[in-house]
Amino acid sequence: MYRFEYKIGDFNCQPVFENWTYAPDEAGGVEKTLNNSFYQWARLTPRTGGRTFIAGDITENNQTTWIYDMEVVIRYTPLIDSDTTMVWEGKRYAINYFTIQDEGKKRFIRMFVTMTDDQSVTPSIINPAQMIYYYNYTGVGGETEVVIPQLINKTIFGVFKDGISITIIVVGVPDTSEVLYEPATGTFTFGMPLYSGERIIIQYL
């Protein structure tokens, strides 16, 4: 039995997660570049927050804004890191910290986020054709072959078994650390049988 359990129906929101890199620019500042972005079904708690004071100068009125905190739970994905931000309902949130629930199986990520400002933003998907997608599969137990019609003729660039990356091959017989992908049929053949409840995450374009 797993310690952390959630109702599937609670994962009814789909925020955008963005991964960024930061590098010094010629002026001595920091240039931010979007690497990729992706949608993720999530469980969001009611937002909490308060009025934050923003001081103006002596000729302008002082302003206040609302800054919110939120708890977010998503299914585990290795794409979340320290440079990831979240966009939900036109607001961008910074991830303060997150925990991987059930570290061995890597079932869920529970994170706490804070709205970075009160300005309306649009998810910065620089090239929708390059958006990262993923497919989740849970092992029944004993199977080595999984046919996924949705993944016929896709570009597969990551396969994870319970959070551990395994090598993708397209010809030959897979060993215990490999998976054979057949694009024409969307078939994945693993080098060893899956066990019941084993979590498979497939990243593709």
Yes or no: say if 77 and 40 are a contact pair by the CB < 8 Å rule.
Answer: yes
Write the DSSP symbol of residue 13: B
Which band of pLDDT confidence, cut at 50, 70 and 90, is reported for residue 191? very high
What residue has token string 């609670």? 10
User: What pLDDT, on a 0 to 100 scale, did the predictor assign at position 56?
Assistant: 45
User: What pLDDT, on a 0 to 100 scale, did the predictor assign at position 63?
Assistant: 52
pLDDT per position as a tens digit, 173-182? 999 989 999 9
- Rounded-to-integer distance, Cα 123 and Cα 137, Å: 28
* Rounded mean pLDDT, 65-94: 84
- Rounded-to-integer distance, Cα 99 and Cα 90, Å: 25
pLDDT per position as a tens digit, 138-158? 999 999 999 999 999 988 877
- Rounded-to-integer distance, Cα 188 and Cα 182, Å: 7
pLDDT per position as a tens digit, 24-78? 767 777 777 887 788 888 899 866 665 554 444 444 445 555 567 899 999 888 8
Which of helix, strand or coil describes residue 149?
A: helix
Question: Of all residues in the chain, what percent carry a pLDDT higher than 90?
Answer: 26
Which of helix, strand or coil describes residue 40?
A: coil
Domains, the chain, ranges and CATH?
Answer: 8-128 (2.40.10.270), 132-204 (2.60.40)
User: What pLDDT, on a 0 to 100 scale, did the predictor assign at position 38?
Assistant: 80
